[in-house]
Structure 1
Amino acid sequence: MIWLGATVGVPLAMLLACVLPGVRYRMTNWLALAAVPGLGAALFASGASLDLPPLLLRLRLSLDGPGALLLGAAALLWIAGGVYAAAWLRGDARRGRIAVWWLLTLAGSLGVFIAADLVSFYLLFSMVSLAAYGLVIEGATPDALRVGLIYVALAIFGEALLLMGFVMLAVSAPDGASLIRDVVAALPASPRSNAILTLIILGFGVKLGMVPFHVWMPITYRTAPVPAAAVLSGAAVKAGVIGLIRFLPSGVALPGWGQVLVVLGFISAFYGVLAGVRQSDPRTVLAFSSVSQMGVVIAVFGMGLIAGDTGVALAAAFYGVHHTLVKGGLFLGVGLAPLAGAWRNRLVLVPAAIMALGMAGLPLTGGFLAKLAIKPVLGDGLAGLLGTVSSAATALLMTHFLFRVAALPKAAPAPPPGRDLRWPWLAVAVASVLVPWGLYPAVLGGSVTYALSASSLWRSLWPVLVGGGLGFAMQRWGGSVILVRDSNVIVPVSARVDRIMIGLGIAVERFDIVLREWPVAMLSLIAMAVALAVLMLAPI
């Protein structure tokens, strides 16, 4: 199918054209076109497959339902981000270099959703991870270079884990199979299945920002240019989601591993909120929000493994669709807000509030349907209760985010002009609501009548009201604030705030700062590598 080949081929062809300096400098004007084939594949090529010739490494591409959902959302964000970047970088001397890294990251970001064999997946996953390094360090400041070093070290570490896991998968598969579906089908019977699952979960956990590997997210999203941060946070991180969809056994009950994922997921979900409400930079708040939201996704996969639920892939992909669009839209809005004129509160904060609270499940938003999609997977037990509490926590975090956006200093009305940035941002904001509503009945088979019932609306509304109310109270009556800039923390200090929460928040703050220290990060990686080596050599 031509759409599949063009999804990766078009951005790579545009990248090849960048060898000409004149073309490279003007390439930002055409970045949006690079993702159009990906959108076409999501719409018209679901169920198709393509084997590339030997000259192209015999890569195998295919597209199933969950992959089509994530591919379509990612392509929409890359298109809007490309339009936004063209205006944002107008006249910028760096635009040619950014275009090169943008196209390389885009090719990997979209290609990973259609990779059908181990080699294709690893190649494209590595592309999206490593090429993003160029976007992170583009400012070339000492801070950006330090952030880039930490990012690329963790990216390489995660890929090394995956490479070991993939090699063990390939060895365990019968008859030298290389298709992902074949090697994963043989995983439960492998004598080293525990070691393989450990490597896979940790490898994709790095990409998803699972605690304690989350440290690259806050510093990276703060450093990268706004349009790059939008596509990295919204689209590129979904390489981890599709990785768990592809490589966790489907329909096989593994209760032990499921419980591990549930615990790790909810630790990340609540840690992201505790750390995020203490941030001054709205971009850093959004980064910790991604840590939290991806934690919920990890917990969903865990519940799927516990029950051997084959529907978890589609539910997680649907949740990822909403997160892709809403997180990308919020980052684009953060870049636009300081450039807006008197209409900022009306045109930026109101849609931003709808998107932000939508992540908590605000009724009638896309996030409302995303929460409904994962509710059957989480169930009505402890995991379901924690999911509801995490929705309230998300509302608290997003209320804090909105206050931080409102507090941004107004920039001079110089290029990039706000008018040229509005339309791609508004397009993503509208898509974050309309796309889930279009997909919910058509793809998930969900009942719109049930979704709009009074009981469903109230179950989604009350956590938003509780969390939003707490967030407003924290801003309004939280007492004095100790502000530490550059992605560190805001410490609310007040007699009205519960002492236990203050102590917990301070502990989270200190832990996160320690993790960001380069020597500590390196020692942690070495210790993890030694532990994994012991695990692989031990009989299982």
Structure 2
Amino acid sequence: MNLASLLVVLALAVPLVLAALSGAVREPLRLLPWAALPGLACALAAPWGTRVDAPELLLGTVLQLDGTGAVFLGLCAVLWTAAGFYAPAYLRGTPHPRSFCIAWNLTLAGSLGTCLAADAASFYLAFALVSLPAYGLVMHERSDAAWRAGRVYIALALFAEIALLLGLMLGVQAAGSLEIARVREALPAAAHGELAVLALATGLGVKCGLFPLHGWLPLAHAAAPVPASAVLSGAIVKAGILGLLRFLPGEGGMAAFAEWLQVLGVGTAWMAVALGVCQREPKPVLAYSTMSQMGLLVAILAGGASQAGIGGATAVAVLVFAVHHGLAKGALFLAVGVLSGPGRRGVLVACAVLGLALAGLPLTGGMLAKLAAKEPLGSGLVAQAAALVGAGTLLLMLRFLHLAARQAPGKAHAGPRQTLAFGALAAAALLAPWWLAARTDATLLPKVLEAGNAWTATWPLLLALALAWAALRVGRVPRVPSGDIACIADAAWLRWRSRPTRAPAPSRWDLQAWRAAGAGASRRALDAAEKLSYWRVAAVALALVALGIGLLLP
């Protein structure tokens, strides 16, 4: 085994080994900063095309580092390293550090594994690792909100796993091979190709937070500790984007499906804006901002697939956009913890710069990402709606800054290590898109200086400022509970449970009652889960899926 292959293996092996050691060492939190460093070394040093075959594992494991995987691997490794550097002091003195570290390292292994998997079985296993152990990160604090967020998260995560399994099995059967490239090529002409693509898009769309499967995202991001929120928003949701990039048929295949997916992505982006500006705490606003940006990323992917296929300009746009968003959003989540300590004004200024960059301010990495997205988005009505998402992003960032500035300083978690981690991630968010654009498509750089492009990037921001001023004049913003659609489901559950006892139930349109109903129903649902656990439900669902696949396959 040469050095490049060894780096690929170590990228996955080290987090798994550290997960095992976390249950034995005295201070497992000290291991967190080192877990992702082999993955970062692999992304930077291993040549593209490095391949590791392990026919004795699963159904024949194949790990491969290509250009797309290297970019996503580097993004995930940087985020996990910065958050791991940030976490020990933030979590010092909190209960259950060992379980947090085990969940952290297992989820990290899955996050890096999705970037390296070249066969369907390995991708499915990596996706399961990035999804299921993250439950331990979401409910780490064991509060009512954390239990509720974890309940919603694990239910949707299991649903995503079932849908992804169905899509992969149909795709593998059509391709006659486990290799992802062959599965993707075989889907357009497969007998059940439409069903396979729909199942894949559903399973991966849950991870991206696409409507109406987004309910977990604002709840989980708000309930998780700050370093876990940073990797949830910056890295873990990118597993869904990478999966769509790998599996969504290209070369114009299934153009009608791709067009509908583009509409869904843009609709998700704008719905997240409408819900996010109605939040009352900083972290849910950032979570809805992530949902909005992921919807836009899905629209870019689907737009490219509906035109000339995924590749070239579409791949560049997705990579630049994903890297910029992942680093910037990870830094903003880390800022929530840093704001509780000294130096609030400087941190708020840095957050304002990051927010403007996310919205596409001229001469920033966000403008580069929006310029790269022009070609795959096309020129129709949906593309114009997508181009205006920058205005919605700025509204969300203004809302976040407003809430963060009003938030009273609490217990200071911010020491030099936390401030350094935030600063390094913020600097990377501002610089990395330029480096990546220069490496992938140097023609983007001169376009930043063109007056027409600068005005196209500026006027949506001016519109957002005008809308923000109007909202301040009105002085009242509607209140929507974090999790929105999950709160409606909780309220419906509570109404159903209250019928036998004639207990009062919340009004159908009372948003305040939705929030209260969600908090109150969480414990009742957990009691019911003890009698009929999610794992038993998952086992029955998987058995039904296997039966359905058996009936579908010839």
Structure 1 residues 483, 250: closer, same or farther in 2, change over 3 A? closer
Partner of 2:456: 459
Distance 1:154 1:513 in 2: 20
1:270-289 → structure 2 map (5 Å cutoff)? 270-289=270-289
Structure 1 residues 423, 252: closer, same or farther in 2, change over 3 A? same
2:248 maps to 1:238: no
- Partner amino acid, structure 2, of 1:442: R
Partner of 1:437: 434
Distance 2:146 2:550 in 1: 36
Structure 1 residues 95, 146: closer, same or farther in 2, change over 3 A? same
- Partner amino acid, structure 2, of 1:7: A
Structure 1 residues 125, 93: closer, same or farther in 2, change over 3 A? same
- Partner amino acid, structure 2, of 1:258: A
Distance 2:308 2:444 in 1: 24
1:252-401 → structure 2 map (5 Å cutoff)? 252-309=252-309, 310-311=311-312, 312-340=314-342, 343-345=343-345, 347-401=346-400
Partner of 1:479: 475
Give 1:48's match in structure 2, choosing from 33, 47, 50.
Answer: 50
User: Between Structure 1 and Structure 2, how many residues are aligned?
Assistant: 508
Distance 1:531 1:507 in 2: 36
Distance 2:546 2:391 in 1: 36
Structure 1 residues 2, 57: closer, same or farther in 2, change over 3 A? farther
- Partner amino acid, structure 2, of 1:122: Y
Structure 1 residues 419, 108: closer, same or farther in 2, change over 3 A? same
Partner of 2:503: none
Partner of 1:499: none
Task: Please state how far the C-alpha of 1:515 moved relative to its aligned partner.
Answer: 12
Checking the alignment, whether the CA contact within 8 Å between 1:74 and 1:235 is kept in structure 2 is yes
Structure 1 residues 49, 407: closer, same or farther in 2, change over 3 A? same
Task: Please state how far the C-alpha of 1:201 moved relative to its aligned partner.
Answer: 0.8
Checking the alignment, whether the CA contact within 8 Å between 1:391 and 1:464 is kept in structure 2 is yes
Checking the alignment, whether the CA contact within 8 Å between 1:35 and 1:106 is kept in structure 2 is yes
Task: Please state how far the C-alpha of 1:56 moved relative to its aligned partner.
Answer: 7.1
Structure 1 residues 203, 483: closer, same or farther in 2, change over 3 A? closer
Give 1:102's match in structure 2, choosing from 80, 101, 104.
Answer: 104
Q: Which moved more, 1:386-395 or 1:107-116?
A: 386-395
Checking the alignment, whether the CA contact within 8 Å between 1:254 and 1:306 is kept in structure 2 is yes
Give 2:62's match in structure 1, choosing from 49, 60, 63.
Answer: 60
Partner of 1:403: 402
Partner of 1:503: none
Structure 1 residues 266, 509: closer, same or farther in 2, change over 3 A? farther
Q: Identity across aligned pairs (percent)?
A: 39
Distance 2:509 2:369 in 1: 32
Checking the alignment, whether the CA contact within 8 Å between 1:392 and 1:466 is kept in structure 2 is yes
Checking the alignment, whether the CA contact within 8 Å between 1:98 and 1:135 is kept in structure 2 is yes
Distance 1:75 1:279 in 2: 31
Deviations 1:50-76 (A, max 9, x none): 113625764211122222111111111
Checking the alignment, whether the CA contact within 8 Å between 2:8 and 2:63 is kept in structure 1 is yes
1:116-155 → structure 2 map (5 Å cutoff)? 116-155=118-157
Task: Please state how far the C-alpha of 1:130 moved relative to its aligned partner.
Answer: 0.3
Structure 1 residues 125, 412: closer, same or farther in 2, change over 3 A? closer
2:79 maps to 1:83: no
Task: Please state how far the C-alpha of 1:510 moved relative to its aligned partner.
Answer: 9.6
Task: Please state how far the C-alpha of 1:297 moved relative to its aligned partner.
Answer: 1.0
Give TM-score, length-normalised by structure 2.
0.85
Deviations 1:430-456 (A, max 9, x none): 000100011111123334222222222
Checking the alignment, whether the CA contact within 8 Å between 1:354 and 1:365 is kept in structure 2 is no
Partner of 1:71: 73
Task: Please state how far the C-alpha of 1:194 moved relative to its aligned partner.
Answer: 0.7
2:227 maps to 1:227: yes
- Partner amino acid, structure 2, of 1:319: F
Checking the alignment, whether the CA contact within 8 Å between 1:66 and 1:314 is kept in structure 2 is no
Checking the alignment, whether the CA contact within 8 Å between 2:340 and 2:414 is kept in structure 1 is no
Checking the alignment, whether the CA contact within 8 Å between 1:253 and 1:307 is kept in structure 2 is no
Task: Please state how far the C-alpha of 1:47 moved relative to its aligned partner.
Answer: 2.1
Checking the alignment, whether the CA contact within 8 Å between 2:341 and 2:414 is kept in structure 1 is yes
2:6 maps to 1:2: yes
Checking the alignment, whether the CA contact within 8 Å between 1:322 and 1:436 is kept in structure 2 is yes
Distance 1:322 1:63 in 2: 21
* Cα root mean square deviation, aligned: 3.0
Partner of 2:172: 170
Structure 1 residues 403, 449: closer, same or farther in 2, change over 3 A? same
Partner of 1:497: none
Q: Which moved more, 1:106-115 or 1:463-472?
A: 463-472
Structure 1 residues 512, 452: closer, same or farther in 2, change over 3 A? farther
Task: Please state how far the C-alpha of 1:483 moved relative to its aligned partner.
Answer: 5.4
- Partner amino acid, structure 1, of 2:272: G
- Partner amino acid, structure 2, of 1:350: V
Distance 2:39 2:449 in 1: 32
Partner of 1:210: 210
Deviations 1:321-374 (A, max 9, x none): 11110111110011211223xx312x1111101111211101222211111111
Distance 2:94 2:349 in 1: 30
Structure 1 residues 224, 388: closer, same or farther in 2, change over 3 A? same
Q: Which secondary structure state, in structure 2, belongs to the residue aligned with residue 399 of structure 1? A: helix
Q: Which secondary structure state, in structure 1, belongs to the residue aligned with residue 63 of structure 2? A: strand
Distance 1:93 1:400 in 2: 32
Partner of 1:498: none
Checking the alignment, whether the CA contact within 8 Å between 1:339 and 1:411 is kept in structure 2 is yes
- Partner amino acid, structure 1, of 2:473: W
Distance 1:85 1:209 in 2: 25
Distance 1:513 1:411 in 2: 24
Checking the alignment, whether the CA contact within 8 Å between 2:362 and 2:448 is kept in structure 1 is no
Distance 1:401 1:173 in 2: 47
Structure 1 residues 231, 512: closer, same or farther in 2, change over 3 A? farther
Q: Which moved more, 1:89-98 or 1:52-61?
A: 52-61
Unaligned runs of 5+ in 1: 490-505
Unaligned runs of 5+ in 2: 486-507, 530-536
- Partner amino acid, structure 1, of 2:108: L
Q: Which secondary structure state, in structure 2, belongs to the residue aligned with residue 326 of structure 1? A: helix
Task: Please state how far the C-alpha of 1:84 moved relative to its aligned partner.
Answer: 0.4
Task: Please state how far the C-alpha of 1:19 moved relative to its aligned partner.
Answer: 3.4
Checking the alignment, whether the CA contact within 8 Å between 2:106 and 2:133 is kept in structure 1 is yes
Checking the alignment, whether the CA contact within 8 Å between 2:28 and 2:98 is kept in structure 1 is yes
Distance 2:197 2:482 in 1: 36
Checking the alignment, whether the CA contact within 8 Å between 2:480 and 2:511 is kept in structure 1 is no
Checking the alignment, whether the CA contact within 8 Å between 1:188 and 1:249 is kept in structure 2 is yes
Give TM-score, length-normalised by structure 1.
0.87
